Amino acid sequence: MDTGQGISMTPRIQFRGSPYDTMDTDRHCGTKTCQPPCPSNIISSAVEKWTRKMSLPLACQLCCRRLSQQARNARKRAMLDRMIRVDHAGEFGADRIYAGQIAVLGNTPVGPIIKEMQNQEKQHLEEFEKMLPEYRARPTVLLPIWNVAGFVLGAGSALLGKEGAMACTVAVETVIEDHYNSQIRELMEDDTEEHRPLIQKIKQFRDEEKDHLDTGLLHDAEKAPFYTGLTEVIKVGCRTAIWLSERI
């Protein structure tokens, strides 16, 4: 990768004087805090290369390979656990936001439009509820907080009028679209073929969230009072909720 300043930021690492030369460190171990070069990946690649180079007995090589494979599987499990947990939390929160908006604007002309978006969020939520046991992922312990916070955000924005509710939708869906895009990239970097069903599902949800964003813009989101400030504050809140739900 070229940084544009003539500095090459290659994800491959040179280990001078070591029994192994270069190793693939551009893959991510699944923890958000880890940035390439990934220490976990360095270790598993190093073990494999070292055993090959040293011509260790076959039994040792097989044992090391198995340990390395176990490390990779653990990394993958951690990545999927984190993804399913945060997506489940996000869809749960989105459902609660629309519930809050419907409580205020349900009997107005935009009521059916908001209801339609909420129905899609409920479908997304159902899908992730099925995926939790399938991927052996744990839901976030913060669900009771998102339950209340989502409803309050939805109702509070709707009290500013339909423009306020739509501005809230635009802010939330902008963050969610970015979030899903980054997950799609991460899954494709890991193994496109293995994660194909999950990638397709997330792509479908990402497109539907984009439709919600467009609906918000179409219904005068930008005419909401303090539109820029309001949407920026909501975006920061959503990103914080994502960060927390990935971890606890």
Q: Are 209 and 180 spatial neighbours (Cβ–Cβ below 8 Å)?
A: yes
Rule CB under 5 A: is residue 206 a binding residue for Fe ion?
Answer: no
What's at 80, amino acid-wise? L
Annotate each residue in 36-75 with x if it binds Fe ion (CB under 5 A) or - if it does not, as one string: ----------------------------------------
Q: How far apart are CA 96 and CA 88, in angstroms?
A: 13
Rule CB under 5 A: is residue 96 a binding residue for Fe ion?
Answer: no
- Residue number with CB closer to Fe ion (18 or 182): 182
Residue at shortest CB range from Fe ion? 124
Strand stretches in the chain, DSSP E: 12-14, 22-24
- Residue tagged 């699944």 (tokens): 30
Contacts of 241 (CB under 8 A, 6+ apart): 89, 90, 93, 142, 146, 149
Rule CB under 5 A: is residue 121 a binding residue for Fe ion?
Answer: yes
Residues 137-176 that bind Fe ion (CB under 5 A): none
Half-sphere exposure of 10 (CA within 13 A, CB side): 7
Residue span binding Fe ion (CB under 5 A) among the ranges 19-27, 54-62, 90-98, 108-116: 90-98
Map residue 195 onto helix, strand or coil.
Answer: coil
Q: How far apart are CA 124 and CA 130, in angstroms?
A: 10
72, 82, 124, 179: which one binds Fe ion (CB under 5 A): 124
- Residue number with CB closer to Fe ion (26 or 208): 208
28, 75, 179, 212: which one binds Fe ion (CB under 5 A): 212
Total number of residues binding Fe ion (CB under 5 A)? 6
Considering only CA atoms, which of 47, 132, 36, 41 is closest in space to residue 91? Answer: 132
Rule CB under 5 A: is residue 87 a binding residue for Fe ion?
Answer: no
Binding site for Fe ion (CB under 5 A): 91, 94, 121, 124, 209, 212
